[in-house]
Amino acid sequence: MRQVVTQAAGPLRGTMRVPGDKSLSHRAVLFAAMAEGTSVLTGVLDSADVRATIAAVSALGARVEGDIGAVLRVTGWGADGPSTPAGRIDCGNSGTTARLLMGVLAGWPVQVTLTGDDSLSQRPMARVTEPLARMGATFETAEGGTLPVTMRGGALIGIDYESPVASAQIKSAVLLAGLRARGRTIVTEPAPSRDHTERLLPEFGIEVGREPELDLCWVEGPAVPLACDYAVPADPSSAAFPLGAALIVPGSEVVCTGVLLNPTRIGFLLVLARMGADVLAEITQRDSAEFVGDITARFGREMEATLIEPDEVPSLIDEVPLLAVVATQAHGTTRFEGVGELRVKESDRLQAVADALTEMGAIVRSGADWLEVDGPCALRGAALDSLGDHRLAMAYAVAGRACDGEMSIERFEAVDVSWPGFGEALAL
């Protein structure tokens, strides 16, 4: 599907509730499927990625009932364990589904083949299969360690694993496998990554040990989660896009309500504030797992370029395309360092963003793991391809609301991965 985006005729103004957080939606469904009893989940994101997780746990024996956009009831397999599925499990475009499922299944006597679409089938899986194999699971992968992956669960032993990269998916997969392992399973990272698994597992009755100053966490196994009721807050990564649009379209003011304000997820807000953008986050509630609040962004303040350093990247990795668009309107050179992980997302996001901004008239330079954007500049319309990547499609649409001339975006339907209805929300 080709979407045409034009310059906003006037300010973008309004208050909105963006869809539920994708990372927490995946985890809530997975943990509920693993649990004893029936969990009641509200606010689960209705997206292609989360539907892949729901289909996967259903194929493995969990019972999922209700409306994904409102209330879901998930009855888990608990201590009985998952069932061998009738066929392959298709993870679609969802790396979270594939990688966390490997951890969930690693300790059970089932054989499962995980597949994905063309994009997911090019993404690295060895970073997960290697530590899980050390614990006792076995894997057969495609050449290069990619999907399809056929795995057989085994009797697991806890390990002390030092992850080579800061990745919530790797950490989560190992911790979830640790729930079926004998003894303690420890994960140490080179820098903090998203900590949703550590925060949410206690809601399901699982104690998680943490030493944040050492970027270290652990679980004791074997342990079985217990059902709970959980409300998923709004997704900060989705909120970043209308907020970013407000910062570059004159006269705009946008408020996003009920947003997850987990410290490992709001690095983009800290960067925007450092650039001088008029953004304000206010905590309105804190449940037992997460901070939740409202975020306001207003056009008007002059923005200055900044340096995004490698230790900041895990907290804003999904927002780099949006931040790069905003950087075209800041004075000076904004430099992103340590962003090589963008090359193994749904697309090579680093190269794609550099190429797209150049087509829009920006001055951009990039390397293996860095990106520089000069500003301010007047953006012009261009013919772009999202490459089937939802974050690129959304970032290009935001740029289109501030550019001169038409912006056409091929494969715009990719936004359905994280925000069906994004085009309407941005008034495209």
> How many other C-beta atoms lie within 10 A of the C-beta of residue 386?
26
Please answer whether residues 409 and 423 qualify as being in contact, where contact means their C-beta atoms are separated by less than 8 angstroms. no
Alpha-carbon gap, residue 221 to 156, rounded angstroms: 10
Closest alpha carbon to 72 in 57, 85, 90: 57
Nearest partner of 294 among 257, 269, 262, judged by Cα: 257
Task: Give me the residue label for tokens 């409300």.
Answer: 231
Helix (H) or strand (E) holding 53: helix 48-59
| Residues labelled catalytic | 318
Q: HEC profile for 180-221?
A: CEEEEEEEECCCCCCCHHHHHHHHHCCCCEEEHHHCEEEEEE
DSSP 234: B
Question: Contact at 8 Å (CB) between 397 and 403?
Answer: no
What is the distance between the alpha carbons of residues 296 and 200, in angstroms, rounded to a whole number? 27
Find out whether 5 and 428 touch, Cβ atoms under 8 Å: yes
Tokens of 54: 């729901």
Q: What is the DSSP letter of 78?
A: G
d(C-alpha 156, C-alpha 181), whole Å: 4
3-class DSSP string for 267-327: HHHHHHHHCCCEEEEEEEEECCCCEEEEEEEECCCCCECCEECHHHHHHCHHHHHHHHHHH
Residue pointed to by tokens 């795995």: 151
- Compute the distance between CA of residue 212 and CA of residue 193 in angstroms, rounded to an integer: 11
The amino acid occupying position 152 is R
- 3-state SS assignment for residue 117: coil
